Amino acid sequence: MKRYVKLLPFYLPGLALYLVWFIYPTLTGFYYSLTDWDGLPPSYRFVGLDNYGAVAGDILFHKSFVNNIKFMLTVVILQTVLSLLLALRLSRQSKLNIGLRALFFVPTILSSVSVGFIWTFVYDPSLGLLNGALKAVGLESWTHNWLGDAKIAIFSVAAVQAWAHIGQMLILFVAGIQAIPHELIESAKLDGAGPLRLFASVMWPLLAPAAAIVVSYTTIQSFKAFDLVFTMTGGGPNYATEILSTYIYNSAFMNYTFGKASTASVYFLVLISLMTYLQFRALRTERIS
């Protein structure tokens, strides 16, 4: 017991930061979710669970949730699959592979606002690089108003989110591949395992911890992509790219319904926690089996 008491001063700075920057804001948000506070006057009244019923019945909240699921699934699939394929190709230590890994990592260090502005220009229907490239190779019929079409706008933004963070996930997968004992791979090859069999039976089970981190982190990133969505579309057109984080922002700072915004934040927290838990359980079960 005395040993833990002596170590207590070393825990206090981290614990203080955790309490101030996470626990206190979380509890404050839950407190305001039970009020009708509009963010302006110091006075407000308690409304109990009325905000929870109002937000749960809000059609725009439902649309934001569906958009966020579309966004998240697109990002998780693209980011995980592409980063894994690149990691398999670039896992060997060579000057070329190291240089390519660094090149793929560069977009990760850019701010989301910068990435949003760059890709807004790329997606421009008239002067954008994407439509220009399609026209140059004779695929003019494929040109599109990538951010102005409500049917595909959310997927266009999701593709940018995946592009910006593939390099980050690539490094995690490369680390996982390089941690696999070389003897296991050589033994599988001697037993006649082909590339697909080698990956499915030897490499993938050992990559499950890295995959769990990639999928859960990508999921959280997808639900927190406020700055990218706000920069590129602002939630439009016609709320087609409105996600939960932009819904919360608009409720608080545009409509001055901070109570409802806090309620949406509580739903948001529960949703991310639940999805992350289910993903870890699923990947852990797959690894055990």
CATH of the domain at 228: 1.10.3720.10
Residue 267 maps to a domain:
yes
Residue 3 maps to a domain:
no
pLDDT at residue 237, rounded to an integer: 92
Q: Smallest Cα–Cα separation from 176: which of 80, 108, 102, 272? A: 80
Band of residue 1 on the pLDDT scale cut at 50, 70, 90: low
Q: Smallest Cα–Cα separation from 228: which of 59, 71, 84? A: 71
Comparing 116 with 213, the larger pLDDT belongs to 116
Residue 187 is part of which domain span?
Answer: 58-288
pLDDT digits (tens, 9 = 90+) for 103-153: 999 999 999 999 999 999 999 999 899 999 999 999 999 999 999 999 999
Residue 29 maps to a domain:
no
pLDDT at residue 276, rounded to an integer: 78
Amino acid sitting at position 239: Y
Residue 47 maps to a domain:
no
Split into its structural domains, the chain has a count of 1
Residue 99 maps to a domain:
yes
Band of residue 192 on the pLDDT scale cut at 50, 70, 90: confident
Residue 79 maps to a domain:
yes
